[in-house]
C-alpha cells in the first residue's frame, strides 16, 4: 500500500513537471538534454529539459522566478543546484547546492557531490531523494539498462554503501597512521635525548683532556726554565717533552676517533 501511494505521488509530481515542461518540447534537437528516469517505465523519458548555453538552475517548481529545470518532491529546494554549459567547448558542469550541499543533496552516479564536476553522456543525477535524471548529449544513444529506475537506484545505494565503507577504512587507516606517528615521534625524542647526553659526555671528555694538556704544558714550561742551563737535564727534559707530546697526540687521535665513530 505504501509503495502504491509513493508511486501515485511520484506520478502526480511528474505530471506537474510535464505540464511545466511543455514549452520545451519543441526545438530540443541538437541540444544536451536532462531526461527523467521514473520508477514507472511508461513515464521514463516523458520529461526532457534542454540545457541552454550558460547557467541552468535546477530547483523546486512553483517558485518565482521559476527555475530552468523545475522539479518537486522530497529534498528539493529552490536553486537546488546548477548546470553550467559552455556551448563553444561542449562542456557541461554540475554545481552542488551553494548553501548546504550535505543537506540539499545532489548525487552523481551514486556519489554525493560537494564541488563542481564535469558531466558526461549517460551520467545519472539524483536531485533530492527521488528525482533521477540522465544526461544525454546530441547524437548519442542511451543503453536501456541505464533507464531502469529500480536498478539505477540500487546501483546508487550500492555506491553510497561502498563510499561509506571506504570512508570507514580511511578513518581506520588515519587512526593507525596517527598512532604510528606518535610512536615514531616518541622514539625520535628518546633518540635525541640519548644523542644529546652522549654529545655532552664527549664534550666534557674533550674539555678534561684539554685541561690536562694545558697543565702539562705549564709544568713543562716551568721545568724548561729550571733546566735551561743544565745540558744533561735539558736532554732529559727534551726526551720527556717528546714522550709527553707523543702521549698528547695519542690522546687527541683517540678522542677524534671517538667523536668520528659517534657521529
Note the pLDDT of residue 1: 47
58-109 tens-digit pLDDT: 999 887 889 999 998 889 999 999 999 999 999 999 999 999 998 999 999 9
* Angle at alpha carbon of residue 262, lines to 260 and 263, rounded to 5°: 65
Q: Is 263's pLDDT higher than 70?
A: no
Note the pLDDT of residue 27: 61
pTM attached to this predicted model: 0.56
Q: Which of 29-33, 63-67, 138-142, 221-225 has the lowest mean pLDDT?
A: 221-225
Q: Is 35's pLDDT higher than 60?
A: yes
Task: List 125's β-bridge partners, or say none.
Answer: 108, 133
Q: At what angle do helices 149-226 and 231-262 cross, to 10 degrees?
A: 180
Task: List 35's β-bridge partners, or say none.
Answer: 48, 134
Give the three cell numbers for residue 18.
Answer: 510535464
The radius of gyration computed from the CA coordinates of the chain, to the nearest angstrom, equals: 42
d(CA 155, CA 166): 16
Q: Is 171's pLDDT higher than 80?
A: no
Q: Which of 106-110, 179-183, 231-235 has the lowest mean pLDDT?
A: 231-235
In DSSP notation, 197-213 reads: HHHHHHHHHHHHHHHHH
Please report which helix (H) or strand (E) contains residue 86, including its range: strand 81-86
d(CA 120, CA 105): 20
Q: Is 32's pLDDT higher than 80?
A: yes
Note the pLDDT of residue 254: 78
Amino acid at each position: 500500500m505504501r509503495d502504491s501511494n509513493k508511486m501515485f505521488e511520484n506520478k502526480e509530481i511528474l505530471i506537474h513537471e510535464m505540464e511545466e515542461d511543455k514549452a520545451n518540447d519543441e526545438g530540443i534537437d541538437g541540444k544536451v538534454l536532462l531526461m527523467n528516469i521514473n520508477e514507472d517505465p511508461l513515464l521514463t523519458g516523458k520529461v526532457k529539459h534542454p540545457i541552454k548555453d550558460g547557467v541552468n538552475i535546477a530547483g523546486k517548481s512553483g517558485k518565482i522566478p521559476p527555475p530552468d529545470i523545475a522539479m518537486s518532491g522530497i529534498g528539493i529546494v529552490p536553486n537546488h543546484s546548477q548546470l553550467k554549459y559552455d556551448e563553444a567547448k561542449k562542456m557541461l558542469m554540475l554545481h552542488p547546492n551553494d548553501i548546504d550541499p550535505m543537506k540539499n543533496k545532489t548525487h552523481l552516479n551514486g556519489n554525493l557531490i560537494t564541488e563542481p564536476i564535469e558531466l558526461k553522456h549517460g551520467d545519472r543525477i539524483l536531485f533530492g531523494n527521488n528525482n533521477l535524471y540522465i544526461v544525454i548529449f546530441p547524437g548519442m544513444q542511451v543503453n536501456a539498462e541505464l533507464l531502469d529506475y529500480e536498478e539505477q537506484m540500487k546501483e546508487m545505494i550500492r555506491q553510497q554503501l561502498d563510499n561509506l565503507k571506504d570512508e570507514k577504512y580511511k578513518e581506520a587507516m588515519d587512526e593507525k597512521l596517527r598512532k604510528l606517528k606518535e610512536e615514531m615521534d616518541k622514539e625520535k625524542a628518546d633518540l635525541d635525548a640519548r644523542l644529546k647526553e652522549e654529545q655532552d659526555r664527549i664534550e666534557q671528555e674533550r674539555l678534561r683532556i684539554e685541561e690536562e694538556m694545558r697543565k702539562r704544558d705549564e709544568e713543562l714550561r716551568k721545568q724548561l726554565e729550571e733546566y735551561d742551563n743544565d745540558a744533561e737535564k735539558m736532554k732529559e727534559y727534551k726526551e720527556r717533552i717528546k714522550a709527553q707530546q707523543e702521549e698528547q697526540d695519542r690522546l687527541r687521535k683517540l678522542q677524534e676517533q671517538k667523536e668520528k665513530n659517534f657521529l
